[in-house]
Structure 1
Amino acid sequence: MLSNSPFNAMEEAGTAVLTLTEGLEKEEFLASRLTRAETRRQLRLMSRSALLLSPEIHALLAEIDWEGWRILDQRLAISDKAEDTLLWLAVRALAPDTLMWLRVYRKNQPEWFKEDN
């Protein structure tokens, strides 16, 4: 059984990222200071949550790009203004792919996500 807390945090922040950026093109996203700042904050929550999970869990959920989350976390920690390309890649690929795989794992391995009673 896996701890639910980091997964829930990743799913909530990921959903926020998708909601914030829905329908936006790259130029629109980069031009919107408020949307970009909040999206960056949500991505940082996702990356921090991903890093809370053990290497064993990362190995079990191998389709998720854990290395991508580690790199994103490092870049976001260094600067308030992460590279435009990196942010956009996280918005369009890393976050949605991670959410998709978490849903697949929850469906196929529900015992991994059961809450402790």
Structure 2
Amino acid sequence: MLSRMQYDILQTSGQFVGALLAELQSEEELFASANTLRCVEAHLRVIAQTLVHLPEPLRQRLVQIDWHGWKCLQHLLEQNAQPRREEVWYGVRALVPATLALIAQLRRREPGWFEIGY
């Protein structure tokens, strides 16, 4: 299923965000590092774009995801809109962990959504 590939994309991007933030001590440190911020924002954009393309039946099983938050963040990142500091910080501290946790829970409950099908 396409959902397995999407799951892998979400997991990989989420892990990259976590790894990039692991060395940072504060919010200020993230926003002071242009290179790290650019990488984090790129992964947030990948996650947001991947979520938009999840099949509707799968999206309906993930009603607890902050779909509005992801949509707003995606718009800000794609339009390169400023300011977006609060939204990016919300993305890395709340959206990413919560979304990955909810998808992992669904994968445990309904593994069929995440099988590779041809």
TM-score (structure 1 length as normaliser): 0.89
Mapped partners of 1:7, 1:37: distance in 2: 23
Mapped partners of 2:16, 2:45: distance in 1: 12
Runs of 4 or more off by more than 4 Å in structure 1?
none
Mapped partners of 1:88, 1:79: distance in 2: 15
Residues 15/82 of structure 1: CA separation in 2 closer, same or farther (3 Å cut): farther
Which amino acid is the alignment partner of residue 107 of structure 2? Answer: R
Extract unaligned runs of 5+ from structure 1: none
Q: Does 1:74 align with 2:69?
A: no
Query: Would the aligned equivalents of 2:3 and 2:55 in 1 still touch at CA under 8 Å?
Result: no
Mapped partners of 2:106, 2:34: distance in 1: 34
State the partner residue of 1:57. 58
State the partner residue of 2:12. 12
TM-score (structure 2 length as normaliser): 0.89
Which amino acid is the alignment partner of residue 79 of structure 1? Answer: N
Q: Percent identity?
A: 30
Mapped partners of 1:55, 1:62: distance in 2: 11
- Between the two proteins, the alignment pairs up a number of residues equal to 117
Query: Would the aligned equivalents of 2:48 and 2:73 in 1 still touch at CA under 8 Å?
Result: yes
Which amino acid is the alignment partner of residue 45 of structure 2? Answer: R
Extract unaligned runs of 5+ from structure 2: none
Q: Does 1:26 align with 2:27?
A: yes
Mapped partners of 2:83, 2:106: distance in 1: 30
RMSD of aligned alpha carbons:
1.7
**How far off is 1:3 after superposition?**
2.2
Greater mean deviation of Cα atoms: 30-39 or 16-25? 16-25
**How far off is 1:19 after superposition?**
1.0
Q: Map 1:74-93 to 2 at 5 A.
A: 74-79=75-80, 83-93=84-94
Residues 4/111 of structure 1: CA separation in 2 closer, same or farther (3 Å cut): same
State the partner residue of 1:104. 105
Query: Would the aligned equivalents of 1:58 and 1:66 in 2 still touch at CA under 8 Å?
Result: no
